[in-house]
Amino acid sequence: MSSCKGACRTFSSLHPARIALFGYLSYIVVGWFALSLPLSMEGNKVGALDNLFTTVSAISTTGLVTVSIADNYSFFGQVVILFLIQLGGIGYMTLGSFLVLAQRRELPDVRKAVSHTVFSLPEGFKIDRFILGVVFFTVFIEACGVAAYYPCFRNANVDYPLWSSIFHSVSSFCTAGFSLYNNSFEAFAGNFWLNAVTAALGYLGAVGFIVCVDFGRIFIGSSKQVTLTTKIILSATLALTFIGTAHLFLAEPSIQHMAPEKRILAAFFQCMNAITTTGFNSVSIADLSKSSVLVLTVLMIIGSSPSGTGGGIKVTSVTAVLGVMRSTINSESDVHFWGRVVPRERIWIAVSNIGLYLIALSIGAYLLELSEMTSFEKNFFEAASAIGTVGLSMGITSGLSTIGKIVIILLMFCGRVGPLTLSTALFGGSPEGKREESPEDIAV
């Protein structure tokens, strides 16, 4: 008993980033085991590496798959995948913390610290109220998604329309991109309602729980205005969505044969699925022009918002660095938006996050270039989709070599945990005992 308590104290004393890392790894192991059970499979037996690939893709809410979900996994296997998607979407600490709060108990300090790390919360958010808001909002939105999807799938005469509605509602809100159809939503390219529901669910998940809680506080009267974080997220996401949609609508040859209303629907849907990292596609990504592939790649790299279900660098980090550029050009000492100064430590985090993200992406693309016989364009797109936890592909996922699959698995895991959190967990040290050094200027 004493050794068990000692182990618990040792675990609690770990850096929150390390606890988050161990948590995700433990769920991956459990999910991998569950998917490897004969009960989870249907038809051809799925190999161990492909099961691991599917598990990591689900827990990271990516959506890249090497085997067909509908053809190779039984109903039980699909339920396991959906549970992993839900777990990865709202954060593995959230469910446990919610159960603690449901018993009217105080959250332990270690849970608070890890939750702050996972959600990247700014000051002013109480973690207990935030977690309750996350769970209730998730259940409400996903239930609405099921109700909205059901008429679409029922009228399309698909098998098991209710299960399809549940699966795709969770997958959309958690920006996972997992589909029970081998060609994603290409068969529904002209279905306005299904496209609108998918885009709305993905957008609500991607903008982040910070935004949702922010507006919730205004609705109940506990706050009179949204935070700076919410302003940045909404304005940046809308701007990027408009730019991407305009390009695809005006310059993408593969959709020019469509009627204008269907063309703008396809352009908007594909752009939204890149910037929110939802990962569904209504047109074949492999058929897109190089310029459109470049636009989607940039949107995937930028990604969604902190504390949301999506991935990528995060629009707030990119906006912060753009603010640094503007301040440098204008010879200003502070970075500011809407009359508010962004704290220096947040700028450091944003710069570090972008740097580590691009390093990991470059290494992943380089390794794919060495291991795969496909073009650099397809390899880089696959790497960007994996680390951005997007799930879009130019059609090379199922043909990846063993090394290629391992590279994508590592990129997806890195994207879910976050390059900065992962680096802190693996290499971070304590600032205590570090000696101060004298400054010296360098040429830049």
In-domain check, residue 212: yes
In-domain check, residue 7: no
In-domain check, residue 433: no
Please report the pLDDT score of residue 118 as a whole number.
58
In-domain check, residue 444: no
Main-chain phi, psi angles of 389, to 5 degrees: 50, 45
Q: What is the average per-residue pLDDT within 409-428?
A: 89
Q: What is the mean pLDDT of the chain?
A: 86
Please report the pLDDT score of residue 11 as a whole number.
46
In-domain check, residue 47: yes
Measured at the CA of 325, the angle between CA 322 and CA 326, to 5 degrees, comes to 90
Number of domains in the chain: 1
Q: What is the tens place of the pLDDT at every residue in 164-207? A: 999 999 999 999 999 999 888 888 888 899 999 999 999 998 88
| Lowest-pLDDT range of 151-160, 164-173, 207-216 | 207-216
Residue 96 in 3-state DSSP?
helix
Share of the chain above pLDDT 70, in %: 86
Residue 200 burial (C-beta neighbours within 10 Å; 0-12, 13-18, 19+): middle
Token pair for 175: 């920006």
pLDDT above 50 (res 343): yes
Q: What is the tens place of the pLDDT at every residue in 421-439? A: 888 888 876 555 556 777 7
Amino acid present at 40: S
326 Cβ neighbours under 8 A, 6+ residues apart: 332, 335
Q: What is the tens place of the pLDDT at every residue in 247-256? A: 999 999 999 9
Yes or no: say if 67 and 92 are a contact pair by the CB < 8 Å rule: no
**Which structural domain range is residue 160 located in?**
14-423
Q: What is the tens place of the pLDDT at every residue in 229-239? A: 888 889 999 99
In-domain check, residue 68: yes
Yes or no: say if 55 and 33 are a contact pair by the CB < 8 Å rule: no
In-domain check, residue 430: no
In-domain check, residue 4: no
Token pair for 132: 């309750």
d(CA 65, CA 117): 28
Q: Which residue has the higher pLDDT, 275 or 115?
A: 275
Q: If you average pLDDT over each of 117-121, 213-217, 275-279, which comes out highest?
A: 275-279
Q: What is the average per-residue pLDDT within 218-230?
A: 80
